[in-house]
Amino acid sequence: MQKIVVVGAGHASGQLLDSLRRGGSDAHITLVGEESWLPYQRPPLSKKFLSGELTVERLAFRPKSFYEKHDIHTRLSCRAVSIDRAAQTVSLANGEALDYELLALTTGGRVRKLTVPGAGLTGVHYLRGIDDALGLQADWQGRDKVCVIGGGFVGLEVAASARRLGKNVTVIEMADRLMGRAVSPAMSGYFLGLHTRNGAHVMCSTGVTELVGTHGRVSGIHLSDGREIPADVVVVGIGVLPNQELAREAGLACDNGIMVDEFARTRDPKIVSAGDCTNHPNSLLGRRLRLESVHNALEQAKSAAASLMGEQLVYAQVPWFWSDQYNSKLQMVGLSQGSDFSVQRGNPEEDKFSLFYYRGNALIAIDSVNCPGDHMAGKKLIAAGISPSPGQAADPGFPLKSLL
Ligand SMILES: Cc1cc2nc3c(=O)[nH]c(=O)nc-3n(C[C@H](O)[C@H](O)[C@H](O)COP(=O)(O)OP(=O)(O)OC[C@H]3O[C@@H](n4cnc5c(N)ncnc54)[C@H](O)[C@@H]3O)c2cc1C
């Protein structure tokens, strides 16, 4: 029986295993994960899970019985430390070596760490996994002043969850606007207003020079403008790095992610890779990129599973992503960077609007707030290369679906 080893038990692996068994693979499969959890959904960690509206059981990608029923062997709380491609083995931190005929690397990403003095104080948190979220929940109970360093998606979702719990929240962002790498200035402005209206204190264009503490526990933050602000709990959300070292040390090409082709194959015919850890081509966008999104992890994993089964399923989709902050659901399709202009549909003051981004005459992306219809239609329009005129896009009465 063919032996497949999957390293990394996250979103991509959950989908990959599902696709393998659904596709009829009867391979002997072993899933290796360094966390103690079976694959689970990370998005709620900064949203409903953190604010206490969702239990840990609800996070699982598939129940434990799925792995038992499909005869998937698991090695949890166990890190893969090296790959010997010539011998086709993966060595684990517990000393075990697993043979493989085919290997999938779904190692995801890890948080970028803050390096200023005091970053190691107790009370300084990061958020990537369930254990981080449980640690943060326990720590901020009975503590009021929550400072979030980093105004990206995760940081802002944590800020919104903390406000929901009535905490005193400050967000510190080095750039001059929120979520600056992902959304346009107009959308950043909307979210700044949203957080401010909901009682969070947001400081843009502000750096952190030091975290200070008493008895080993954080108590304040020194800012780049010389001020010091008090903090009972600090949450750092300053980006994610791809977990590519295992692949790189095994001689696989890596460049901001494990290099794969449109079928999720590395240059070793026995190894595929999918999810946050990959740098992959996207023929619809005409370039290579690394994405950190559930959609990317799931869809690329389907291509990886197909490759493992000797089939070919091209991964070329218009990227999409979402973020929930307070009662505003941001849904993004396409990548708005490099657009020439945008057109607004709906009304930000009613928390219900979309921005349509154009390059020349072509619609390349839509960011929507509480407009799922625009998002759904936009996905199809962009994938089909159909562009409403700016006038049609700006008219909320114009049915976008009629163009499909
Ligand atoms: C708080 C939070 C909120 C998010 N919200 C959204 C959202 O709203 N929308 C959205 O689209 N995306 C969101 N994301 C991003 C999304 O969760 C990721 O894109 C997705 O989890 C990527 O899946 P993955 O399988 O590639 O990696 P992961 O889910 O990170 O899984 C990788 C797994 O591999 C393990 N691993 C790594 N190296 C090894 C090794 N050597 N040996 C064994 N195991 C290893 C890791 O511990 C991890 O468990 C969010 C992420 C976070 C952290």
Taking only the tens place, the pLDDT of each residue in 208-220 is 999 999 999 999 9
- For residue 98, give the nearest of 112, 113, 87, 111 by alpha carbon: 87
Centre of ligand 1 to C-alpha 230, Å, is 31
The answer, yes or no, to whether any atom of ligand 1 lies below 6 A from the CB of 98, is no
Asked if the domains at 3-110+241-308 and 113-236 fall in one CATH topology, the answer is yes
pLDDT tens across 11-30, in order? 999 999 999 999 999 999 99
**Topology of 3-110+241-308 in CATH?**
FAD/NAD(P)-binding domain (3.50.50)
Q: If residue 372 lies in a helix (H) or strand (E), which one and from where to where?
A: helix 372-384
pLDDT tens across 363-374, in order? 999 999 999 999
Question: Probe ligand 1: pick from 11, 79, 100, 272, max atoms within 8 Å of CB?
Answer: 11
Superfamily of domain 113-236 in the CATH hierarchy: FAD/NAD(P)-binding domain (3.50.50.60)
Could you give the CA distance from residue 240 to residue 275 in angstroms, rounded to a whole number?
13
pLDDT tens across 79-132, in order? 999 999 999 999 999 999 999 999 999 999 999 999 999 999 999 999 999 999
Could you give the CA distance from residue 368 to residue 183 in angstroms, rounded to a whole number?
11
Domain definitions of the chain by residue range: 3-110+241-308, 113-236, 327-403
With respect to CATH, is domain 327-403 assigned 3.30.390.30?
yes
pLDDT tens across 330-378, in order? 999 999 999 999 999 999 999 999 999 999 999 999 999 999 999 999 9
- Token duo for residue 83: 């790959």
State if pTM tops 0.85.
yes
User: In the predicted model, is pLDDT for residue 178 greater than 90?
Assistant: yes
- Token duo for residue 25: 């693979």
User: In the predicted model, is pLDDT for residue 323 greater than 90?
Assistant: yes
The answer, yes or no, to whether any atom of ligand 1 lies below 6 A from the CB of 297, is yes
- For residue 359, give the nearest of 379, 329, 333, 336 by alpha carbon: 336
Mean pLDDT of 183-198: 97
Could you give the CA distance from residue 404 to residue 124 in angstroms, rounded to a whole number?
49
Ligand 1 closest atom vs CA 291: 19
H helix intervals, 198-259: 245-249
Centre of ligand 1 to C-alpha 149, Å, is 20
Q: If residue 399 lies in a helix (H) or strand (E), which one and from where to where?
A: none
Q: What's the gap between Cα 62 and its chain centre?
A: 19
- Token duo for residue 199: 């009682």
**391 falls in which pLDDT band (50, 70, 90)?**
very high
Predicted confidence at residue 381, as pLDDT, reads 97
Predicted confidence at residue 339, as pLDDT, reads 95
- For residue 247, give the nearest of 47, 90, 46, 26 by alpha carbon: 90
% of the chain surpassing 90 pLDDT: 98
CB 187 within 8 A of CB 351: no
Predicted confidence at residue 1, as pLDDT, reads 81
Identify the three-state secondary structure at position 95.
coil
Q: What's the gap between Cα 64 and its chain centre?
A: 24
